[in-house]
């Protein structure tokens, strides 16, 4: 049995993974239009022998040792992430791409806080699959490299490219597991990566297409097509008003586009009464800054200011596909932040749903205004824990860049789970402080209980988190500032340039871990 998945690049329903029989010769998937990606490990300088993976060795035997021979005479040993291509080695594959996996058994790197084997596999397989994609083959078979999940993630994440609005599209390529071992883990990897790609599609999408209404419809349709254990509420402006979410509404009123409060429920636990894990995601489908308008250069990137909503929703979609036994709720306040005659003005004061008043000294600090009401509302579900994700501050990008998501949390248990999850996924987190020091800088406001900007410029990500904390009473809460990881330039080798959909896989891994740990949180 082989597991296959084609790379889907649209907002259409998932191109689902499906099995094909390996031993039956199949006219459509065998032969000259197929590529094979195989891994090779790095060897010590003095070692001359080529060290292939298990699948590589098996293939080498089939071609009577030709692969190892070619590899050793065609140049120096392959470096990590580099590729070498051979043609006409075997009748079933027109091209075989060999990829460098680095040192075998590197394990967890304590400095880097990630599993190096997994990261190496993701990067190498992504590079190999792209080579096959460039040859415009419709099929590629992938070496599981001893970790089928990481290999599948590398393939699906590496092949993704957004061309929704281009007339000339990249030809579709179907990814298949080479061999019959590890089908289950391979399948899990496909689903994890497709989850991240869903977040990438939503984030990359232009703001005139991915409006609050469209965002909610896409997630609603996806969820309903996956599981019957879901409820989707697309709350309209009247509902938001009835909820007295005035802080959220104050941001939304500057735009002609109606706001939406998306509320999704997934009942994965057999105990329907089990307290849910509640996710909250910032859903600003375009952030111009409002009256405190942003500079025009690179303002287009602010179409991804709904990255929090995209990643938490995609993580819930993925958890539902994986049938994770846990109860989840996702909340996303969705709207635009634009300047207009109706928009917030610096110095305006609003009363949030919690009753606290907020002085809006900077209309560009709108994320915390929409989250204040959503976080307060999250408490009404008797949550086991609350986790929010938001492209909240430019200061977060200044602090950590794209290396890791900043996590502000009042719970050591939540931190441990997020951190452990991120070592496995390679989409890292780093703990940030929630000191009273920062709280003092947002509670000292001339006109209201809170100011939406800190008294000083320094520590902007920390003052933003301290502001959110004013709307949280739950003992297990984590705020993820994902502004720094929103976009990939060239830092993560298995993601092409563009909106990154991070940290969707870490959230999925975190959900899975929490579903197995009913004690600590
Ligand atoms: N959406 C931005 C933060 C952002 C910046 C995300 C860059 C991704 C990349 C947020 O709404 C914002 O503008 N924050 C302000 C806060 C400031 C006015 C206190 C910022 O970071 O400059
Ligand atoms: Zn802003
Ligand atoms: Zn914003």
For residue 436, count other CB atoms closer than 10 A to its CB. 10
Q: How far is CA 461 from the centre of its chain?
A: 20
Whole-angstrom distance, CA of residue 459 vs CA of residue 191:
37
Q: Chain-wide mean pLDDT for the chain?
A: 94
pLDDT confidence band for 9 (50 / 70 / 90): very low
Q: How confident is the model at residue 51 (pLDDT cuts 50, 70, 90)?
A: very high
Residue 371 CA, ligand 2 centroid: distance in Å: 13
CA distance 103 to 219: 41
Residue 313 near residue 261, CB atoms below 8 Å: no
Q: Residue whose CA is closest, atom 8 of ligand 1?
A: 483
Mutation pick for ligand 1 pocket among 254, 310, 364 (CB with most ligand atoms within 8 Å):
364
Q: Is 483 in the pocket of ligand 1 (CB under 6 A)?
A: yes
The one-character DSSP state at 363 is T
Confidence of residue 337 (pLDDT cuts 50, 70, 90): very high
Q: What pLDDT is attached to residue 216?
A: 98
> Which residues are known catalytic residues?
294, 368
Give 62-103 pLDDT, tens digit per residue.
999 999 999 999 999 999 999 999 999 999 999 999 999 999
Q: Which residue, by CA, sits nearest to atom 13 of ligand 1?
A: 364
Token pair for 209? 């297409």
Listed by start position, the domains of the chain span 7-181, 196-516
Identify the pLDDT of residue 438.
98
- For 417-468, what is each residue's pLDDT tens digit? 999 999 999 999 999 999 999 999 999 999 999 999 999 999 999 999 999 9
For the chain, give percent helix, strand, coil, nearest 5. Answer: 35, 25, 40
Cβ of 365 less than 6 Å from ligand 1: yes
Could you tell me how many residues make up the chain? 521
Burial of 44 (0-12, 13-18, 19+ CB in 10 A): exposed
User: pTM for this structure?
Assistant: 0.95
- Residues whose Cβ atom is located within 5 A of ion ligand 2: 287, 364, 366
Q: Is 453 in the pocket of ligand 1 (CB under 6 A)?
A: yes
Ligand with minimal distance to 394 CA: 1
Q: What is the pLDDT of residues 353-392, one digit of tens each?
A: 999 999 999 999 999 999 999 999 999 999 999 999 999 9
pLDDT at residue number 30: 47
pLDDT tens digit sequence for 384-415: 999 999 999 999 999 999 999 999 999 999 99
Q: What integer pLDDT is reported at residue 6 of this predicted model?
A: 54
Angle at 516 (CA atoms; ends 512, 518), nearest 5 degrees: 120
Res 250: pLDDT: 99
362 lines ligand 1 (CB under 6 A): yes
Burial of 521 (0-12, 13-18, 19+ CB in 10 A): middle
Q: What are phi and psi of 397, to 5 degrees?
A: -65, -40
- Look at ligand 1, atom 17, and give the residue with the nearest C-alpha: 365
457-491 residue pLDDT tens: 999 999 999 999 999 999 999 999 999 999 999 99
pLDDT at 26 over 60: no
Residue 364: CB within 6 Å of ligand 1? yes
Residue 74 CB neighbours (<10 A):
12
Q: Supply the pLDDT for residue 44.
A: 80
Please give the Cα distance from 185 to 134 (Å, whole number).
Answer: 27
24 pLDDT band, cuts 50/70/90, is very low
The mean pLDDT value for 495-517 works out to 98
Instruction: Determine if ligand 1 sits within 6 Å of the CB of residue 371.
Output: no
What are the b/e assignments for 105-132, b being 16+ CB within 10 Å?
ebeeeeeebbbbbbbbbbbbbbbbbbbb
The whole-number pLDDT of residue 4 equals 52
CATH class as words, domain 7-181? alpha beta
**89-147 per-position pLDDT tens digit:** 999 999 999 999 999 999 999 999 999 999 999 999 999 999 999 999 999 999 999 99
Q: Which of 379, 380, 375 is nearest to 352 (CA)?
A: 375
Ligand 3 centre to CA of 405 (Å) is 16
Average pLDDT of the residues in 32-55: 90
Q: What is the 3-state secondary structure (H, E, C) of 219-281?
A: HHHHHHHHCCCEEEEEECHHHHHHCCCHHHHHHHCCCCCCCEEEEEEEECCCCCCCCCEEEEE
> Which residue's alpha carbon is at the smallest distance from atom 3 of ligand 1?
393
Hey, which residues does 176 pair with through a beta bridge? 4, 141
11, pLDDT greater than 90: no
Nearest protein Cα to ligand 1, atom 16: 365
Work out the end-to-end distance of the chain between its first and last CA atoms, rounded to an integer number of angstroms: 39
State whether the beta carbon of 77 lies less than 6 angstroms from ligand 1. Answer: no
Q: Are 147 and 184 in contact (CB under 8 A)?
A: no
Q: Which atom of ligand 1 is nearest to the CA of 294?
A: 13
Tell me what pLDDT residue 228 has. Answer: 87
pLDDT at 227: 83
Q: What is the pLDDT averaged over residues 217-234?
A: 96
Supply the pLDDT for residue 17. 27
Bridge-partner residues for 283, per DSSP? Answer: 334
316-321 mean pLDDT: 98
Query: Which segments of 358-405 does DSSP mark as H helices, in order?
Result: 367-378, 394-400
Of the candidate ranges 200-204, 227-231, 241-245, the one whose mean pLDDT is the lowest = 227-231
- pLDDT (0 to 100) of residue 45: 73
Residue 213 is predicted with a pLDDT of 98
Q: Are strands 385-390 and 327-337 parallel, antiparallel or unpaired?
A: unpaired
Q: What is the pLDDT of residue 520?
A: 85
- Residue whose token pair is 């071609």: 63
Q: Which CATH superfamily is domain 196-516 in?
A: Zn peptidases (3.40.630.10)
- Percentage of the chain exceeding pLDDT 70: 94
pLDDT band at 5 (very low <50, low <70, confident <90, very high): low
CA distance 293 to 299: 10
Whether the pLDDT of residue 48 is over 90: the answer is no
Pocket mutation for ligand 1, best pick of 394, 467, 480 (most atoms within 8 Å of C-beta): 394
Is the minimum distance from the CB of 486 to ligand 1 under 6 angstroms? Answer: yes
Pocket test for ligand 1, best of 393, 396, 399 (most atoms within 8 A of CB): 393
Segment 269-278 shows an average pLDDT of 96
């Amino acid at each position: 049995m082989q597991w296959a998945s084609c790379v889907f690049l649209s907002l259409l329903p998932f191109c689902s993974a499906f099995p094909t029989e390996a031993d039956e010769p199949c006219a459509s998937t065998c032969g000259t239009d197929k590529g094979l990606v195989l891994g090779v490990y790095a060897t010590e300088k003095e070692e001359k022998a080529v060290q292939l993976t298990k699948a590589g060795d098996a293939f080498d035997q089939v071609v009577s040792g030709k692969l190892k021979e070619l590899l050793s005479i065609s140049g120096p040993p392959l470096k990590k992430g580099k590729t070498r291509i051979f043609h006409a080695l075997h009748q079933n594959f027109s091209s075989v791409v060999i990829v460098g996996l680095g040192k075998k058994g590197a394990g967890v790197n304590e400095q880097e806080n990630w599993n190096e084997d997994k990261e190496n596999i993701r990067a190498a397989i992504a590079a190999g699959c792209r080579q096959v994609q460039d040859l415009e083959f419709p099929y590629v078979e992938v070496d599981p490299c001893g970790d089928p999940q990481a290999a599948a993630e590398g393939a699906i994440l590496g092949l993704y490219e957004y061309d929704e609005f281009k007339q000339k599209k990249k030809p579709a390529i179907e990814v298949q597991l080479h061999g019959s071992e590890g089908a289950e883990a391979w399948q899990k990897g496909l689903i994890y990566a497709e989850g991240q790609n869903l977040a990438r599609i939503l984030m990359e999408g232009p703001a005139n297409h991915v409006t609050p209404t469209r965002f909610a419809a896409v997630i609603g349709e996806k969820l309903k097509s996956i599981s019957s254990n879901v409820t989707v509420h697309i709350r309209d402006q009247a509902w938001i008003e009835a909820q007295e979410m005035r802080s959220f509404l104050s941001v939304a009123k500057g735009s002609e586009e109606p706001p939406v409060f998306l509320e999704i429920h997934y009942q994965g636990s057999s105990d329907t009464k089990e307290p849910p894990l509640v996710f909250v995601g910032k859903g600003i489908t375009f952030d111009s800054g409002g009256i405190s308008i942003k500079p025009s250069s690179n303002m287009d990137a602010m179409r991804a200011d709904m990255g929090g909503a995209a990643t938490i929703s995609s993580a819930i979609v993925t958890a539902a596909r994986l049938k994770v036994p846990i109860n989840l709720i996702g909340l996303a306040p969705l709207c635009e932040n634009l300047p207009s005659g109706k928009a917030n003005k610096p110095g305006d004061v609003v009363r949030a749903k919690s009753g606290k008043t907020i002085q809006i000294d900077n209309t560009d600090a709108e994320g915390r205004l929409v989250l204040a009401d959503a976080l307060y509302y999250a408490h009404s579900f008797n949550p086991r824990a609350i986790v929010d994700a938001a492209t909240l501050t430019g200061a977060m990008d200044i602090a950590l860049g794209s290396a890791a998501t900043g996590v502000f949390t009042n719970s050591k248990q939540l931190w441990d789970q997020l951190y452990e999850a991120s070592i496995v996924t390679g989409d890292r987190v780093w703990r940030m402080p929630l000191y009273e020091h920062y709280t003092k800088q947002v509670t000292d406001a001339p006109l209201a209980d809170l100011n939406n900007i800190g008294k000083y410029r320094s520590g902007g990500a920390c003052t933003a988190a301290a502001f959110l904390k004013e709307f949280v009473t739950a003992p297990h809460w984590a705020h993820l500032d994902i502004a720094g990881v929103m976009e990939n330039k060239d830092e993560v080798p298995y993601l092409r340039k563009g909106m990154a959909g991070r940290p969707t896989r870490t959230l999925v891994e975190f959900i899975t871990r929490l579903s197995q740990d009913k004690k600590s949180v």
